[in-house]
Structure 1
């Protein structure tokens, strides 16, 4: 399977022209930044491991990607979560439902073991037949796959008229943004991101734990944003993005990034001479449950 060479399309949103790297189109089951980060494992011989072990949210995009990876490789996925909401167990949907269909073992730890998923996975004995993946795919092996994305961007940029490019993408653990920055900075290409899960300090700590001291630019308006909480401005911006581009973006991360970009981009000196290249990192499957929550709260038909 060749998870490379996703297309680049051109759009405009609220007077900001931008190119869009469509990594959401890499593969129906294995796309976006998770496909890039897990590419090394996809290329690993099947007999190397029998089990993948990871942890995170029951509706995380990484859950579905790892379930797809395990399914494609014939491995078992044991994925630990803090808890599984009763409504989700009763009516599975989104990433959770698809991961179950792909054979993932999704195991709550808080009630069963009295521990967080990270602590429980850390307490498990070592197994040579097992590969452990930190939450969100934040591990050094992700660099090789992200480098393939960076190389595709460089090839594409080289084919464009000589211009100054800025690459933008939102961050959870920030792994993709970090390794893109590492690959693109020597070519004079700035990478900007924003912290969607925690604050600036959280994101910087994630990067330091990967052993990197040079970091992307973090856009931060100073407005507090709680991960997973419903914000009407996020819902409205996501709908506006769809109307402007006819493309479905991730509802949890992309509105936060675009709020930052809409404030930051016009303030940049000579921004009319700069060109924005936005990375679509997939995640639409996770929109199923988020859209249902927004529609219940704000009674929107979309």
Structure 2
């Protein structure tokens, strides 16, 4: 099961050379950042644990990876979601289908009579965790201190590549949800005394939200990545024509990217490259391609004539 040491390939986008860290080539159970975030769970024993608990979207990459983790460890996975759309429930696809096939118990909180309007995290902390022993709880998206173990390994791989290329400096770019990978990467580079900086953009919330997430993981501002943002505000999960167009454009390089995080990542990166053309940039491919099974048909229905790069 390949969970580290992915290659770095060179592509050209809008006339700029970009290197891509191919974490999409990791084992499909944990493709991309989930292999890094969950490495600690995979490589360590958790005596007495029989249940894994998580929460998030019914199409989250973390749901599929947690279901694979539970299957490998012989654990039961209880994964809580705010709501499962009737179309998805009746026509399972993508990460949701993969998790079901792995035996995940996916719990729709909108059907729980004792939820009483509480957020998923509050419900789990107040109603579930106190009443279940031998349980391992993983916050949404793998946002926890355990993630640092695997992300540190990723940082070391990037640092070693920089040395092999005889680069004085390097910029690592990635889009962020909770910001866990970006934060622990920057923290690792800071502690390795490496001249590598991490640049990211907020996909789930805005810059204020993302910086708050960083602070919860580390109050040391030296560990915080540089956050960039476009003038236009994009709402997470909403379909935008420019997302579909740039996704098709970068896919023509021969590397397939995912449709939830990468489009905004590449929009931000192309803008960043135009202002920082002297920098050597590695784009961190974070996997998640299974989610395209559900996202791509949505784009094709909404923009049937789109997808042709300029």
TM-score band by shorter chain is over 0.9
The answer to whether the 8 A contact 2:2-2:27 is kept is no
2:266 matches 1:258: yes
Alpha-carbon separation, structure 2, partners of 1:94 and 1:2: 21
Alpha-carbon separation, structure 2, partners of 1:54 and 1:284: 21
The root-mean-square deviation of aligned C-alpha atoms, in Å, is 1.5
Show the counterpart of 1:147: 152
- The secondary structure found in structure 1 opposite 2:137 is strand
Alpha-carbon separation, structure 2, partners of 1:219 and 1:96: 31
- The secondary structure found in structure 2 opposite 1:169 is strand
Deviation at 1:227, TM superposition (A): 0.3
Structure 1 gap ranges (5+): none
1:86-105 deviation per Cα after TM superposition (whole angstroms, max 9, x unaligned)? 00011100000000000000
Alpha-carbon separation, structure 2, partners of 1:179 and 1:46: 23
Alpha-carbon separation, structure 2, partners of 1:247 and 1:162: 24
Of 259-268 and 84-93, deviating more is 259-268
Show the counterpart of 1:189: 196
Of 1-10 and 217-226, deviating more is 1-10
Show the counterpart of 2:55: 55
Alpha-carbon separation, structure 1, partners of 2:217 and 2:150: 15
- The secondary structure found in structure 1 opposite 2:202 is coil
1:197-256 deviation per Cα after TM superposition (whole angstroms, max 9, x unaligned)? 00011111111111333210001123111000000000000000111x111111111110
Alpha-carbon separation, structure 1, partners of 2:102 and 2:148: 26
The answer to whether the 8 A contact 2:241-2:306 is kept is no
- The secondary structure found in structure 1 opposite 2:175 is coil
Deviation at 1:128, TM superposition (A): 4.1
- The secondary structure found in structure 2 opposite 1:29 is helix
Alignment match of 2:119 (pick from 116, 121, 125)? 116
Alpha-carbon separation, structure 1, partners of 2:148 and 2:18: 25
Alpha-carbon separation, structure 1, partners of 2:201 and 2:273: 13
Q: TM-score, normalised by structure 2?
A: 0.92
- The secondary structure found in structure 2 opposite 1:57 is coil
Stretches (4+) displaced over 6 A: none
Deviation at 1:59, TM superposition (A): 0.5
Deviation at 1:44, TM superposition (A): 2.2
The answer to whether the 8 A contact 1:163-1:275 is kept is no
Alpha-carbon separation, structure 1, partners of 2:249 and 2:280: 21
Alignment length, in residue pairs? 298
Deviation at 1:46, TM superposition (A): 5.4
Alignment match of 1:294 (pick from 290, 299, 304)? 299
**Pairing 1:224-235 to 2, within 5 Å after superposition:** 224-235=233-244
2:287 matches 1:282: yes
Show the counterpart of 1:221: 230
Alpha-carbon separation, structure 1, partners of 2:11 and 2:168: 17
Cα distance, 1:189–1:296 mapped onto 2, change above 3 Å: same
- The secondary structure found in structure 1 opposite 2:230 is coil
The answer to whether the 8 A contact 1:46-1:74 is kept is no
Structure 2 gap ranges (5+): none
Alignment match of 1:159 (pick from 160, 164, 177)? 164
Show the counterpart of 2:206: 199
Deviation at 1:263, TM superposition (A): 1.3
